[in-house]
Amino acid sequence: MKPKIYITRKMDERIVAPLQEKFDVRMWESESEPVPRDVLLKEVADAEALWTVISDQVDHEIIEAGKKLKIIANMAVGYNNIDIAAAKEHDVVVTNTPDVLTETTADLTFALLLSTARQLTFAESELRKGNWTSWSPMGYTGMDVGGATIGIIGMGRIGEAVARRAKGFNMDVLYHNRNRKHEAEAAHGFEYRELDALLKEADFVVLLTPYTKETAGLIGSRELALMKKTAVLINVSRGGIVDEAALYTALKENTIWAAGLDVFETEPVPLENPLLSLPNVTVLPHIGSASIKTRLAMMELNAQAIMDVLEERAPKNQVE
Ligand code: 8YV
């Protein structure tokens, strides 16, 4: 019997085909619905590899149900959806997809920053609704990006790629990170700040830190109150890093000027989320890594990691 691979989303046929030659590949085919938990629990029971995406919660129960499980390949650089301790306990390798998505995610971060600063989606929707009836001196005015100060929280690979883009816009780059990046400071003039100092100084606060116990709720009402009244918050990391209720209040009461959000505490974001009712919020459906080339490269990494583990080679990108 061929070892079984279970894939929780429809992946590209060209990447799945080489796996099908050697393994028994089963895939959740729906494009619109995520795999139901009972199906996943049943499918994982005899699978040796599980290929997941960030919206699949791979918790202790699922890992325990995977009696033959050797690898979980996650189509993301973040892996907060997986119980890493449980995987370790059951000798299941977990792999992710770093590097290939760095530049693509930095592009989207910058696009969201520009869009939020200049109210692009609001201005476009006004035009489409027929509300652009005359030119007004202060109509659709936003915040300048060029020459402003950006504060990046989480200076990993994507953070550095965003910082390089910011330098191209003649911005001052401040960052906060667990470790100092002395080389990047010397090479590019990025400046380290403690969290509170960064929040007070930055015109644009960009969240790019992984979602962990330490960063959950990192930006709450105290932190939002430290920010400038004219500041813009950009979150492209994980929704849970920001206290959404506190953010709603800060935006409503103009404690900060605007927010650009690619991620939410609950995804897909329910339409009842009060943040969606605010005009000073620009929202996207978690598309940081969504270029065709990058998504295919992420799939390639996952497929290769599965092949490696099932053929008893050490995979690339094993986490922790
Ligand atoms: C998503 C991301 O993974 O890599 C990450 O951690 O958040 C994104 O790239 C993407 O939506 C695919 O799951």
Confidence tier at 84 by pLDDT (50, 70, 90):
very high
Residue 31 has pLDDT above 80, yes or no: no
Residue 157 has pLDDT above 80, yes or no: yes
Report which protein residue has its CA nearest ligand 1's atom 2: 76
For the question of an ipTM over 0.85, the answer is yes
Report the mean per-residue pLDDT for the chain. 97
Q: Using most ligand atoms within 8 A of CB, pick from 51, 52, 75 the residue to mutate for ligand 1.
A: 75
User: Is residue 54 within 6 Å of ligand 1 at its C-beta?
Assistant: yes
**Distances, alpha carbon 50 to alpha carbons 25, 41, 66, 298, in Å:** 10, 11, 9, 15
In the reported structure, the alpha carbon of residue 76 is separated from the centroid of ligand 1 by a whole-number distance in angstroms of 4
User: Is residue 263 within 6 Å of ligand 1 at its C-beta?
Assistant: no
Average pLDDT over residues 123-131: 96
Average pLDDT over residues 5-20: 97
What is the predicted pLDDT for the residue at 197? 98
What is the predicted pLDDT for the residue at 258? 98
User: Is residue 101 within 6 Å of ligand 1 at its C-beta?
Assistant: yes
pLDDT digits (tens, 9 = 90+) for 249-274: 999 999 999 999 999 999 999 999 99
What's the residue count for the chain? 320
What is the predicted pLDDT for the residue at 62? 98
Average pLDDT over residues 25-54: 94
Average pLDDT over residues 21-36: 92
Catalytic residues: 238, 267, 286
What is the predicted pLDDT for the residue at 313? 98
Q: Using most ligand atoms within 8 A of CB, pick from 57, 81, 101, 236 the residue to mutate for ligand 1.
A: 101
User: Is residue 77 within 6 Å of ligand 1 at its C-beta?
Assistant: yes
Can you give the pTM of this predicted structure?
0.96
Confidence tier at 91 by pLDDT (50, 70, 90):
very high
What is the predicted pLDDT for the residue at 178? 95
Residue ranges and CATH numbers for the domains of the chain are: 4-98+292-310 (3.40.50.720), 102-283 (3.40.50.720)
